[in-house]
Structure 1
């Protein structure tokens, strides 16, 4: 050990008792008559297996008494009494590694020598030829048994770890998935302690089940709504048939005093108005609501085209915004407008007099509006019926007041340069209005 440059501070020496090295041969569990020698480059014995064996063996040297202060000497006597001198020289010279020979003690052995690295030390090991295979077999069985035990322990540890970390969670996920397959979406799992992949999978399954459950609720609500709408359709059909029956009963009294074909045409026009109401209802996105703009526009044009000829020069002035009413009100509004325009076309413009019919909806608030049907004809006073029949406008006027009563409102009739009919309407909330698209013909 050196301190400052060139200054020796001390010397450290370590040594190992050569006799102590012989104890390592115990770990090898050598078979009977097997030998082990540790030699230096001069062939001197540093350690051997015989120094641990019984002194009764005549081929081995005598050991000192147990109370001796020093370890027994290890000499060449056991080596030369077993291995021939010429073979020892060949081993030390490292020209002989594996060989078989009969020792000086008469035992045939299989020898193997190994030169240890980083030193001139050689290990010579010999096993009796007659027991070599048995010893190898015993050692092989021991090693295979050790490997099998390690393998079984590994399988057991893997099974326990897999069961605790994976399979118990996958089993729970499988039970939850089976519950979902049966339609029980209330099954839930606490996956906080599960592996992240299985936790993500379980959360995805529960989210999917929640969405399916919401979807099923929506579908049930939709089915219930459709059932309700179907019942409402049947109810409306019944009401419309009752309306048609009432119209037939009313016109039945006029057939005796009027042209039957004319009466039938009047009935046909009112039935067409009913059909137009239903077409706009069922072609819309919501059969409970009806947009008045496309409906009243087509209805007014149909009446003018059907009840007047081109040479009469009757113009139609429409001013109808996109307003929505409940479907039940749409039927009454359609029949009222039909009666009002029909009366104007039949009686307001006698002798092919030109004129203009105005149909207008004036919005007054979010849920209220005023319906206006006006003409610039001769007015109510100028409508003279033929002498052989009652006033023709009485029936139409009665129907208009009846439909207004169904709407829960009253009409006002003004005569100033023609006839002007006004009535208040209750609209559906503005958020439920439909776009003003005219359905396909």
Structure 2
């Protein structure tokens, strides 16, 4: 019989055994484990919450854009050749309406010499930057606005001294929705106007939020002449927006199309989303710093564990454990420790995202890749943090380890 037949079987440590041994090592020091895992949890929670809140914010913007549409264009006067502010022709709305791709068009005309006050005793310089504008009766349908209280101007009200206030204007004037029933007057352009309505905020036309809107006939009577449009709002099919945008300057002012400025309000919301993404990148970097600090805490915990458990390491080596077994044991403890922190951090970050989204009435959006990334990050941090302590434990000679017992 050969000598190899009497040789003892090689010692093996299966993955399940590694997990069990690593878990028992952590259970022996629960307080230290909790404090170390907390550092990982803070970093993971920060990263999950930042991405979740950013995703929820973007989903809110996308929902609003889907609801309001991205096919609204605005036409405003630019500068003339001499550098003065240009004017839109009085027939601008009718000219734009002739384009067959246009589905709706409306306009407002600013009354630059008029202001609105709560009463006639207020200093004329205290305007609160509120604008007074003439508005067409089809304005709300074009810009996607809604009435919060009272009613909107119609052909009858538009010829009388009545006013509809934007959301910001009503707040600054101290007028509530309950007062938009015709029982309150404001001092507008040197005359009393009755408040008949208050608008909800208009995301695609925020300039209307700080405006007092009156009928075009009433505006002409107040100013003593025709009121030219200062902003034309136009909607067309989504597929025709670029084409219509290119046609609008020459359509509105054929003589000097260079004095016409065309913009797309939804681009402002998209720009805000891009700014949010930049901020998200910064916050993710801060979350990464927190995760790094947590990893250092795990490494420190494992180094101390190796020093405290020299006798255990020596005994296991004497009983047949190889260096690879010791390395895997301590590396497993480090990964488990980081994993506990990662799971806790993911749960905490998800809860923060849900609470924040609910408080803002946003849809809850937490991408699946975030949770996968959190798991991957914790495994990586655990492996990196435990690599040196595990290697140090594996290099420890059994006789030297037992001599410290």
Q: TM-score range by the shorter chain?
A: under 0.3
Q: Which structure exhibits the higher relative contact order, with contacts defined as CA atoms closer than 8 Å and separated by 6 or more residues?
A: 2
Structure with larger Rg: 1
Between structures 1 and 2, the one with greater helix share:
2
How does the TM-score come out when normalised to structure 1?
0.21
Q: TM-score, normalised by structure 2?
A: 0.22
